[in-house]
């Protein structure tokens, strides 16, 4: 019984030791960022400008009455 517990403990420690290393490598591969294209940057710019315009229009409607 003691030998079985020891074997299970050793196997568990080995598995726990390898899991964080393997998962960290996988996360690094997935999070590798690519540079955005010009079209993506322009889309983001247009969206932000639309938000600003809608905010300004709401402000003008409220305070010009």
The larger pLDDT score, comparing residue 29 to residue 56, is at 56
User: What is d(CA 40, CA 33) in angstroms, rounded to the nearest whole number?
Assistant: 14
* Mean residue pLDDT across the chain: 78
Distance, first Cα to last Cα, the chain: 85
Segment 35-56, tens digit of pLDDT? 889 999 999 998 888 888 877 7
pTM over 0.85: no
């Amino acid at each position: 019984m003691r030998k079985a517990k020891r074997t299970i403990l050793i196997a568990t420690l080995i598995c726990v030791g390898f899991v964080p290393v393997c998962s960290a490598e996988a996360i690094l591969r997935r999070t590798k960022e690519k540079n955005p294209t010009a079209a993506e940057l322009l889309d983001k710019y247009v969206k932000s400008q639309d938000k600003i315009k809608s905010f300004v229009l709401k402000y003008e409607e409220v305070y010009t009455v």
